[in-house]
Amino acid sequence: MKFETKLIHGGQSEDQATGAVSISVYRSSTFHQYELGGNPKWEYSRTGNPTRAALEALIADLEGGVAGFAFASGSAAIHATFSMYSAHDHFIVGSDVYGGTFRLINKVLKRFGLEFTVVDIQDLAAVENAIQDNTVAIYFETPTNPLLQIADIAAITKIAKKHKLKTIVDNTFATPYNQRPLELGADIVVHSATKYLGGHSDVVAGLAVTSDEKIAEKLAFLQNSIGSTLGPDDSWLIQRGIKTLGARMRVHHANTEAIIKFLENDDRVARILYPGLPDFPGHEVAKKQMDHFGAMISFELQEGLDTKKFVESLKVISLAESLGGIESLIEVPSVMTHGSIPREIRLENGIKDELIRLSVGIEDEEDLINDLKQALDKIG
């Protein structure tokens, strides 16, 4: 089955009890047991719910894993994944990770004794050099948020396997439509399904998928023990979103290409960060491991131009956090998504105060370009 067909028919595509083409929303916390002490398939919805299970089967199928797990948010999925480990376990983490992941690591996980070394994930020697006796896993995003840096998944998993480490990849920006890290040797993929998988900016959700049966057992145990599970209504919404992922991505990509061309030809734009650009540092690796380059663009305006006025002047593109929805969203990471990272660390990692991140939506391409143009005209 080709990927775009899998989006619609993958996992478990109809309701097992009724044959309903759209999986039912099983809004029930508990299930009647027909036999005392039997082994019922469903007993309590934190442990397992048929609507959630259908989503979990679907994402496992799309990522090429053995099992999927749905959580109340991407952050909850990431937290559950780190919860497989114990105090004094050491992780190598990419320097450019989602602001909330940075906060989870520094303000929560470190208090429980987990140890972290932050490295430039593009630098394979730095990754290998950071390995210690107690290192257990390498955690990174690619493309990263918001710098869109590219990590070489196959090369990193090779280093990881050599040292018996696990590799965990946050695949939110690429989605399995563009990139499937498990096929490249990763052990776990995590997602903020809030973004492209849901796709309509109407639900917060997280997913984790693994290619390893032992990890699957641990994640199932932790999902049930911690209890940060996704409810049936939201599980249904994410499934519905995934069905149109292919159709949406085609428009996201076409619009992105057009916007890149526009930005490249506007001299008020100083720098564009996009893995699809031939002179972008990660371009060759991106070409190797991604089917398309995605619909996230970061850019900087020429020095002295008013970033604040620019983003506030946009009329179609909305100034908002988040990404991956049908509507175009723009944000300034230093103030918004990455505001929780101390300024020195942010600058060290290359996130300037002026950096702008654009999540290209599926509106009409001309409307988006005209909107950018009128806002640029207001400032320079």
Ligand X SMILES: *Cc1c(COP(=O)(O)O)cnc(C)c1O
Residues in touch with ligand X (CB under 6 A)? 73-75, 98, 100-101, 141, 145, 170, 172-173, 192, 194-195, 204, 206
**Residue 195 annotated in active site:** yes
Angle at 73 between CA 68 and CA 77, to 5 degrees: 45
H-type alpha helices, the chain: 3-9, 50-63, 74-82, 99-103, 124-129, 153-162, 175-178, 213-226, 232-243, 245-264, 283-289, 307-313, 343-348, 365-379
Q: CA-to-CA distance for 290 and 74, rounded, in angstroms?
A: 22
Nearer to ligand X, 62 or 148 (CB): 148
What is the closest distance, in whole angstroms, from the C-beta atom of residue 190 to ligand X in the complex?
7
Q: CA-to-CA distance for 122 and 136, rounded, in angstroms?
A: 19
Choose the catalytic residue: 61, 96, 170, 187. Answer: 170
Please give the torsion angle defined by the CA atoms of residues 138, 191, 188 and 351, in that order, rounded to the nearest 10 degrees. Answer: -10
* Number of residue whose CB is nearest ligand X: 74
Nearer to ligand X, 219 or 301 (CB): 219
**Do the beta carbons of residue 196 and residue 322 sit within 8 Å?**
no
Quick one: how many helices (H) and strands (E) in the chain? 14, 12
What is the closest distance, in whole angstroms, from the C-beta atom of residue 99 to ligand X in the complex?
9
**Residue 98 annotated in active site:** yes
What is the closest distance, in whole angstroms, from the C-beta atom of residue 158 to ligand X in the complex?
23
What is the closest distance, in whole angstroms, from the C-beta atom of residue 34 to ligand X in the complex?
37
Angle at 319 between CA 329 and CA 229, to 5 degrees: 60
- What's the N-to-C CA distance of the chain in angstroms? 51
Q: Coil, strand or helix: which one is 170?
A: strand
What is the closest distance, in whole angstroms, from the C-beta atom of residue 72 to ligand X in the complex?
8
Choose the catalytic residue: 6, 52, 180, 195. Answer: 195
Q: Coil, strand or helix: which one is 272?
A: strand
Distance from chain centroid for Cα 314:
26
**Do the beta carbons of residue 42 and residue 192 sit within 8 Å?**
no
Nearer to ligand X, 184 or 376 (CB): 184
What is the closest distance, in whole angstroms, from the C-beta atom of residue 103 to ligand X in the complex?
10
Cβ-based neighbours of 342, under 8 Å, separated by 6 or more: none
**Residue 46 annotated in active site:** yes
Choose the catalytic residue: 26, 61, 85, 98. Answer: 98
Angle between helix axes 74-82 and 213-226 (nearest 10 degrees) is: 120
Nearer to ligand X, 146 or 232 (CB): 146
What is the closest distance, in whole angstroms, from the C-beta atom of residue 142 to ligand X in the complex?
10
**Residue 271 annotated in active site:** no
List the one residue out of 16, 11, 153 whose CA is nearest residue 68: 11
Number of residues that make up the chain: 380
Nearer to ligand X, 73 or 349 (CB): 73
Nearer to ligand X, 45 or 144 (CB): 144
Choose the catalytic residue: 15, 46, 218, 287. Answer: 46
Nearer to ligand X, 23 or 78 (CB): 78
The catalytic residues are: 46, 98, 170, 195
